[in-house]
């Protein structure tokens, strides 16, 4: 459980410093406790979390940050387990931040990644943290960036961030990692029809998974088609041309090639000074994401907003106001506006809204 002392107290400060020390020592239980603290939405926990992050910050930045996404059924969890076990075999410590999709209705999530990665989770050199997306952008938890820093401070050499592979999750993850790997299926013809241009532009490499058995030849053909397709897109950095490889997570084959690509990417960007620039962009994106989230929460917490919001929502639902007009009325409160949604708008306005 997170520290329970009042924020700002000497006891609370000492507890945070002690937790930070245990995290830096590599204690996995303390690492889990620290991530629980940074994920908490309680105001007092958030204050303690920021003190914890400030204490840990000098020990961060040394990990390889790798985002992994892919279409449903591509075998992300199987790949991550195979890749993680390979890295551990190379003497690395691996942290996996696996974001589970939360139910839009109940807010619940399966949190089953430890079950799907049973072999990896049993390793003392691996740490797997399944977290519910809780409705945040693209299925990425708002605190994934903070969790990544805590894992780095705990001495993990590689941090893998798995997306749920829907909506804008790819963009969100790409903004916080150094290397973005996109997994694809061998049936390139179908894939190329529905592939998003944005994902291709974000990818630092494509890996055709399930390249085994009868799929081996199809995977090779798919790889050739993707190589041709990648030439049509602009990439994240001019210092790197995304390669395409075939892998089999089931047979644990191709993991060495993927790691070699990630290592080569890191060296090229570092030599060009682009890695430092990428990290600066990550911090900039983090700042604005946090600022926008904070502004939204503070605005919706205002008493006048809480009073007016349900009326405006009802007016929008009944087509008495356009969503734009309703939003304008609500935002007018920031300027001391006194517009109210009480009462229906005129019949002419109601007709225009419809």
What confidence tens digit (pLDDT) does each residue in 284-342 have? 888 888 888 889 989 999 999 999 999 999 999 999 999 999 999 999 999 885 544 44
* 316 vs 300: CA distance, rounded Å: 18
* 156 vs 141: CA distance, rounded Å: 20
Task: Render pLDDT for 293-309 as a digit per residue (tens, 0 to 9).
Answer: 889 989 999 999 999 99
Q: How confident is the model at residue 223 (pLDDT cuts 50, 70, 90)?
A: very high
For domain 1-59, give the CATH number. Answer: 1.20.5.170
Whether 3 and 37 have beta carbons less than 8 Å apart is answered as yes
Q: HSE of 176 in the Cβ direction (CA atoms, 13 Å)?
A: 27
* 192 vs 221: CA distance, rounded Å: 12
Domain ranges of the chain: 1-59, 60-272, 302-353
What end-to-end distance do the CA atoms of the chain give, in Å? Answer: 51
Q: What is the pTM of this model?
A: 0.82
Q: At what angle do helices 144-153 and 43-56 cross, to 10 degrees?
A: 40
Buried b (16+ CB within 10 A) or exposed e, 305-327: beebbebbeebbeeebbbeebbe
Q: How confident is the model at residue 133 (pLDDT cuts 50, 70, 90)?
A: low
Which listed CATH number (3.40.50.300, 3.40.250.10, 1.10.10.10, 3.30.70.100) goes with 60-272? 3.40.50.300
Q: What is the DSSP code string of 118-162?
A: HHHHTSTTEEEEEEE-TT-GGG--TTHHHHHHHHHHTT-SEEEEE
The closest of 173, 187, 256 to 217, measured between CA atoms, is 187
Whether 155 and 92 have beta carbons less than 8 Å apart is answered as no
* 120 vs 117: CA distance, rounded Å: 5
Please state the separation of Cα 154 from the chain's center in Å. 19
Please give the angle made by the CA atoms of 275, 281 and 284, to the nearest 5 degrees: 145
Largest interatomic CA distance in the chain: 72
Whether 98 and 68 have beta carbons less than 8 Å apart is answered as no
């Amino acid at each position: 459980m997170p520290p329970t002392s009042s924020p700002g107290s000497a006891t609370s400060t000492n507890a945070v410093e002690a937790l930070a020390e245990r995290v830096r020592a590599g204690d996995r239980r303390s690492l889990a406790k620290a991530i629980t603290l940074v994920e908490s939405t309680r105001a007092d926990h958030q204050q303690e979390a920021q003190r914890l992050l400030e204490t840990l910050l000098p020990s961060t930045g040394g990990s390889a940050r790798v985002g992994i996404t892919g279409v449903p059924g591509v075998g992300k969890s199987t790949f991550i387990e195979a890749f993680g076990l390979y890295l551990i075999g190379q003497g690395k410590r691996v942290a996996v931040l696996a974001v589970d999709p939360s139910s839009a209705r109940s807010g619940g999530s399966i949190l089953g990644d430890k079950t799907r990665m049973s072999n990896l989770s049993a390793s003392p050199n691996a740490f797997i943290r399944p977290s519910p997306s809780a409705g945040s952008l693209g299925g990425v938890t708002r605190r994934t960036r903070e969790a990544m820093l805590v894992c780095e401070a705990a001495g993990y050499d590689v941090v893998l961030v798995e997306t749920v592979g829907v909506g804008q999750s790819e963009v969100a993850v790409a903004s916080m990692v150094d290397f973005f790997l996109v997994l694809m299926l061998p049936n390139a013809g179908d894939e190329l029809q529905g592939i998003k241009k944005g994902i291709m532009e974000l990818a630092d490499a494509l890996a055709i998974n399930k390249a085994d058995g009868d799929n081996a030849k199809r995977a090779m053909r798919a790889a050739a088609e993707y190589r041709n397709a990648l030439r049509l897109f602009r990439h994240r950095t001019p210092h790197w041309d995304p390669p395409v490889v075939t892998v089999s997570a089931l047979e644990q084959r191709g993991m060495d090639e993927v790691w070699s690509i990630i290592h080569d990417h890191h060296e090229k960007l570092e030599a060009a000074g682009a890695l430092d620039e990428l990290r600066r962009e990550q911090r900039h994106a983090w700042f604005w994401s946090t600022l926008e989230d904070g502004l939204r929460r503070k605005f919706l917490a205002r008493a006048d907003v809480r009073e007016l919001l349900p009326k405006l929502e009802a007016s929008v639902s009944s087509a008495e106001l356009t969503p734009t007009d309703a939003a304008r009325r609500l935002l007018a409160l920031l300027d001391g506006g006194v517009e109210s949604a009480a009462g229906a708008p005129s019949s002419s306005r109601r007709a225009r809204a419809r």
